[in-house]
Structure 1
Amino acid sequence: MINQWQVNSEQAYAELEFGPPVYKACVHCQSAIEIIPLLSGNPLGGTLWSDGFQETEQMPVQDLLGRCRHCNEIVSLVDLEPYPTPKVPSDNDDCSYVSLTLGDYEMLLQQLGDIAEEYHAYLRIKFWHQRNDQRRHSDTSMPLTAQEQQNLQQLLPLLDNVDAERLLKVEIYRQFGDFEQAKRVLSDPFDHRVSDVVQRLRQLVRDKNSRLEMIYSGEAARHSAAPCNATSTKPAFSGGGNDF
């Protein structure tokens, strides 16, 4: 099974261009929304985390969803039509979209209708990554909250059996402390291009380490692990409040 969010992720990444910004028209107010192109196709110098989140300066965030800065409505960035007239960047006219907040993802997951249903797995991964942000550079162990556990439990059945998503399953089981199940997922063959990630996760499982960990940093993130690297639309391994 191929999830719609995965199709849209691949489509969005394939459409990225090197060069000047691309302008699309908001479906609600028809204002221009600026899409920033890649600065580099190589994530050299980036940092890859065990949940598939990737940080790199040369590959800017490429979200699937965002808020129009002019009308504040949430839009599907990959479905927008080109802005009808040539657009010249201006310091007085900020057309960049507003990235969604943790609260936005909570709201969309609670509704799970219209735009949210199409991006169900994407939203759960984005929520996971944003909640993990507090752990990325902290020396203090932070157990998963009940809400985070519920989110990951509902994400698991949405993941397929391609390498990128199997690696996310390993990470979810590992963060749950279910090391035996993580071992079972790791026991099946993986493509050699993700061998570095697989070896690192195997070591963390052997150590019975359930904390979020860095996979590697300061080198090309070669083939990473999140089916939507939620900071970009490229699979990284190849992405408090009310319960939802």
Structure 2
Amino acid sequence: MLPGPDQIIECPHCHALARYGTLISGNTFGARLWTDGKQLAPMLPEVPPFTRCPACQAFYWVEDAPEVGQLNRWGDIKPGTPQAWADAPEVQEPSPEEYQEVLARGRPDGLTGERWEHLLIRAWHRYNDAYRELPAGTGAPALPEPIRTNMVTLTSVLTGESPSDHLLRAELQRQLGNMTQARRELQNVHDAPELVSQMLHLIEAGDATVREFQWE
């Protein structure tokens, strides 16, 4: 992994500054993948696509934030660089509770279908984050009703026929406890036998908790 400079952006609502790291190059060595599709790759860190401004508390998409400059992340601040750039907080992904705050308002006016889908997936992933390290045989608590509602909404939003769409719908149904529907979705995935095999094993075990895929 070769880091690049920090990108300085400003909140589209109040113009407060924030920053996120860029990469010149990266790779997926050591990546971990879970059944809900979330991947963590230490050599390919992700910039949260959606964030909350710590100044005005408004939510925004990072790609909508105006870019105002770049800062060497190694601390070598060039003469004339505004101190505010160096002091800008790093972009943070919303917490599970903050995502629920957004989703409780319903789909925002003017939000594209792609972004709505992405928002629902990110909220689901953030809820699952608390249970990713549970030992085998240990189940997560029953789904809170707002989480269940968001997951049901996501199943209706994911209308594609790609293998990834079928895998995501299968995982949603599995975590919702609908094992028959989950198995049916997996019948449409033919190019990821190892993933399908592990998910079928979880379905047969009645396991409705997010799990990490294991590789031999």
Instruction: List aligned pairs for 1:212-227, cutoff 5 A.
Output: 212-216=210-214
Deviation at 1:158, TM superposition (A): 0.6
Question: Which residue number in structure 2 is paired with residue 178 of structure 1?
Answer: 178
TM-score of the pair, normalised by structure 1: 0.69
Q: Secondary structure at the match of 1:97?
A: coil
- In structure 2, what residue type is equivalent to 1:199? S
Please give the alpha-carbon distance, in whole angstroms, between the structure 2 residues aligned to 1:18 and 1:168. 31
Q: Secondary structure at the match of 1:143?
A: coil
Pick which of 30-39 and 99-108 moved more.
Answer: 30-39
Q: Contact 1:109–1:116 at 8 Å: present in 2 too? A: no
Q: Secondary structure at the match of 2:5?
A: coil
Q: Deviations along 1:58-105, whole A, 9 cap, x unmatched? A: 22232221123444332210122321x555566951342232122221
Change (3 A) 1:31 1:171: same
Deviation at 1:148, TM superposition (A): 2.4
Deviation at 1:170, TM superposition (A): 0.5
Q: Secondary structure at the match of 2:9?
A: strand
Question: Which residue number in structure 1 is paired with residue 43 of structure 2?
Answer: 58
1:166 has 2:166 as partner? yes
- In structure 1, what residue type is equivalent to 2:207? N
Question: Which residue number in structure 2 is paired with residue 125 of structure 1?
Answer: 121
Q: Larger radius of gyration, structure 1 or 2?
A: 2
Q: Deviations along 1:3-22, whole A, 9 cap, x unmatched? A: xxxxxxxxxxxxxx962222
Please give the alpha-carbon distance, in whole angstroms, between the structure 1 residues aligned to 2:134 and 2:176. 19
Which runs of no fewer than 5 residues in structure 1 stay unpaired?
1-16, 220-244
1:143 has 2:142 as partner? yes
User: Which residue, out of 178, 192, 198, partners 1:200?
Assistant: 198
Pick which of 138-147 and 103-112 moved more.
Answer: 138-147
Question: Of the two structures, which has the highest relative contact order with CA contacts closer than 8 Å and spacing of 6 or more?
Answer: 1
Change (3 A) 1:38 1:170: farther
Please give the alpha-carbon distance, in whole angstroms, between the structure 1 residues aligned to 2:210 and 2:49. 24
Deviation at 1:116, TM superposition (A): 8.5
Change (3 A) 1:198 1:42: farther
Count of residues in correspondence between the two structures: 199
Q: Secondary structure at the match of 1:132?
A: helix
Deviation at 1:204, TM superposition (A): 2.1
TM-score of the pair, normalised by structure 2: 0.77
Question: Which residue number in structure 2 is paired with residue 227 of structure 1?
Answer: none
- In structure 2, what residue type is equivalent to 1:126? R
Please give the alpha-carbon distance, in whole angstroms, between the structure 2 residues aligned to 1:211 and 1:111. 27
Q: Secondary structure at the match of 2:28?
A: coil
User: Which residue, out of 31, 39, 43, partners 1:46?
Assistant: 31
Q: Contact 1:24–1:80 at 8 Å: present in 2 too? A: yes
User: Which residue, out of 105, 113, 117, partners 1:111?
Assistant: 105
Which runs of no fewer than 5 residues in structure 2 stay unpaired?
78-82
Question: Which residue number in structure 2 is paired with residue 235 of structure 1?
Answer: none
Identity of aligned residues (%): 24
1:101 has 2:95 as partner? yes
Please give the alpha-carbon distance, in whole angstroms, between the structure 1 residues aligned to 2:117 and 2:105. 14
Instruction: List aligned pairs for 1:72-83, cutoff 5 A.
Output: 72-83=57-68
Please give the alpha-carbon distance, in whole angstroms, between the structure 2 residues aligned to 1:130 and 1:63. 12
Q: Contact 1:108–1:116 at 8 Å: present in 2 too? A: no
Change (3 A) 1:120 1:42: same
Pick which of 110-119 and 44-53 moved more.
Answer: 110-119
